[in-house]
Chain A
Amino acid sequence: MDLKEKLKTILIAELNLEDMRPEDIVDADPLFVEGLGLDSLDAVELVMLLQKHFGIELKSMEDGRPAFASINALAAFIEARQQA
């Protein structure tokens, strides 16, 4: 499974997006407010999930802001952190 596919599966399972399948999530669409419509509680859960599934530790929520723009942004963020 590629990274973006894995991210979508994780989001659906852990954020309880019960009525969605991975193919319903568009890579470039916003995750927060619009698009998927995630909120502040999802944001902190996502920070934890980055730690749990990818070993990435975010020092502050601000650090994560660019990553949370879309699936594309999230995948790019993870790849950059894992290569560092």
Chain B
Amino acid sequence: MTARAVPVSGLGCISAAGPDLEACMASMFRGERAPAPPVRFSSSHPVRYPVFEVPDFAEPPELLRTAALLLRAAGEALADAGLDRDQLAGLRVGACIGTTVGSAMNNEAFCREFRTGGRPAMAPMDRILRSNPAAALARAWGLTGPCQTIVNACSSGTDAVGLGASWIEAGLCDLVLAGGADELGRITYNGFISMRIAAPGPCLPFDRDREGLNLGEGAAVLVLEAPELLRRRRARARAFVLGYGSSCDAYHNTAPSPDGAGLERAILEALAAGGLDRAQVAFVNAHGTSTPDNDRVEAQVLARMLPGVPFLSTKGYTGHTLGAAGAIEAAFTVASLERGLIPGCAGFRSADPELGAEPVRENTALRGAVALSQSLAFGGNNAVLALGLGERP
């Protein structure tokens, strides 16, 4: 363990796979998944592209769904860490959250009224202005430390955990609530369909017949804690953030660089930051969106850099949760390390010879205490976290 390892003392997660982290893990290990056409909104596409909605979750009227999902996950994470409002009050607590939809100034009804000559009321815009994820989290818990909402498209969640960890390392904060959140909505749905990367059926990560992604929604929060505070509280870390690496393909706005050089660079940086050897990596939680391009590039990089290391995509269980993905998948990675087991890659059936590697099909036992969780984003960002098993029995 290097001196830079940042303790993770609490975790919270909500996704289509479950209302909390335990429920998510249990349903994934049972191999359950339920992609379905959206229920909360409608569209006029003839094909009913499936999505992964979070069931039985209604946001309060004053907040965007994204912020509400985030608050739910944060509540679970803080309870898991054994921290309450009073304890937070005396500490420097930061909020570092990734999102995509949660920061967008879009509201269709408002714009429709505006465009048809109306003078729409401000309520929807006020709700957006009130729902910046990191700021809403800080306000809800009375946090007074640094606040940052990261909008790096699909790598936002991974970047937020990596950056949040660096606030602890730099001594800026005693605690950082780091994570990501994103909601499903009509505009995002229409956008991904228009880009022809949404699959008309359930997604098939790394599969020979994969056609595209399914969108999802959710949130996850990791409580990152300064080691001195952890000791003072006599608390235990569930995991450690050992390293973080990120890079840019500098290739194209929406297509990943075919040679995977950017991802390779980010993986090397994360490993180096943690003083880790590739041989220590027990598994990789891949981005694995199930698009032809992403999965090809990612699998080829993994085959080249980490041959034989088990990997999976959990997006077959949750859909692609955009800004939340990196955080949700970091939470899943920690929970998998704790159990010494990873779920099978839902949706994968037949190997694609072009990829040079295939994910695990079944629940698979792990050897080792270190894992990588990685994300590749529109805009060419690659972000990788190296996570290590903690000390909590």
In the complex, is A directly touching B at CB under 8 Å?
A: yes
A41 pairs with B254, CB closer than 8 A: yes
A44 pairs with B252, CB closer than 8 A: no
Contacts of B195 in A (CB 8 A): 41, 44
A48 pairs with B194, CB closer than 8 A: yes
Looking at chain B's contact residues, the main secondary structure is: loop
B253 pairs with A41, CB closer than 8 A: yes
Contacts of B255 in A (CB 8 A): 39-41
Residue A47 CB within 8 A of the other chain: yes
- Cα separation A57 to B194 with both chains bound (whole Å): 12
Residue B30 CB within 8 A of the other chain: no
In the complex, how many residue pairs between chain A and chain B have their CB atoms under 8 Å apart? Answer: 17
- Cα separation A44 to B291 with both chains bound (whole Å): 15
Contacts of B253 in A (CB 8 A): 41
Residue A33 CB within 8 A of the other chain: no
User: Closest Cβ of chain A: how far from B264's Cβ, in Å?
Assistant: 22
- Cα separation A48 to B196 with both chains bound (whole Å): 10
Q: Would you list which residues of chain A between 30 and 84 have a CB under 8 Å from chain B?
A: 39-41, 44, 47-48, 57, 61
- Cα separation A61 to B194 with both chains bound (whole Å): 12
Contacts of A39 in B (CB 8 A): 252, 255
Q: How many residues of A contact B (CB 8 A)?
A: 8
- Cα separation A48 to B45 with both chains bound (whole Å): 12
Contacts of A40 in B (CB 8 A): 252, 254-255
Task: Return the chain A residue nearest B46 by Cβ.
Answer: A57
- Cα separation A61 to B212 with both chains bound (whole Å): 12
Contacts of B194 in A (CB 8 A): 44, 48
Contacts of B252 in A (CB 8 A): 39-41
B196 pairs with A61, CB closer than 8 A: yes
User: Closest Cβ of chain B: how far from A38's Cβ, in Å?
Assistant: 13
Contacts of B196 in A (CB 8 A): 44, 47, 61
User: Closest Cβ of chain A: how far from B242's Cβ, in Å?
Assistant: 36
Contacts of A57 in B (CB 8 A): 46
Contacts of A41 in B (CB 8 A): 195, 252-255
Contacts of A61 in B (CB 8 A): 196
Task: Return the chain B residue nearest A41 by Cβ.
Answer: B254
Task: Return the chain A residue nearest B194 by Cβ.
Answer: A48
- Cα separation A48 to B195 with both chains bound (whole Å): 9
- Cα separation A41 to B252 with both chains bound (whole Å): 10
User: Closest Cβ of chain B: how far from A17's Cβ, in Å?
Assistant: 17
User: Closest Cβ of chain B: how far from A24's Cβ, in Å?
Assistant: 25
Task: Return the chain B residue nearest A48 by Cβ.
Answer: B194
Q: Would you list which residues of chain B between 244 and 282 have a CB under 8 Å from chain A?
A: 252-255
- Cα separation A40 to B255 with both chains bound (whole Å): 8
Contacts of A47 in B (CB 8 A): 196
- Cα separation A64 to B272 with both chains bound (whole Å): 45
Q: Would you list which residues of chain B between 277 and 326 have a CB under 8 Å from chain A?
A: none
Task: Return the chain B residue nearest A51 by Cβ.
Answer: B194
- Cα separation A40 to B195 with both chains bound (whole Å): 9
- Cα separation A40 to B253 with both chains bound (whole Å): 10
Task: Return the chain B residue nearest A64 by Cβ.
Answer: B196
- Cα separation A46 to B196 with both chains bound (whole Å): 11
- Cα separation A61 to B197 with both chains bound (whole Å): 10
Q: Would you list which residues of chain B between 351 and 381 have a CB under 8 Å from chain A?
A: none
User: Closest Cβ of chain A: how far from B321's Cβ, in Å?
Assistant: 22
- Cα separation A53 to B176 with both chains bound (whole Å): 51
User: Closest Cβ of chain A: how far from B119's Cβ, in Å?
Assistant: 29
Contacts of A44 in B (CB 8 A): 194-196
CB 8 Å contact bits of B119-158 with A (1 = contact, 0 = none): 0000000000000000000000000000000000000000
Q: Would you list which residues of chain B between 84 and 112 have a CB under 8 Å from chain A?
A: none
Chain A positions near chain B (C-beta within 8 angstroms): 39-41, 44, 47-48, 57, 61
Apart from A41-B252, A57-B46, 15 more pairs, CB < 8 Å: A39-B252, A39-B255, A40-B252, A40-B254, A40-B255, A41-B195, A41-B253, A41-B254, A41-B255, A44-B194, A44-B195, A44-B196, A47-B196, A48-B194, A61-B196
Q: List 17 A-B contacts (CB under 8 A).
A: A39-B252, A39-B255, A40-B252, A40-B254, A40-B255, A41-B195, A41-B252, A41-B253, A41-B254, A41-B255, A44-B194, A44-B195, A44-B196, A47-B196, A48-B194, A57-B46, A61-B196
When A and B form their complex, which 6 residue pairs have the shortest distance between CB atoms, in order from nearest?
A: A44-B196, A44-B195, A40-B255, A41-B254, A48-B194, A61-B196
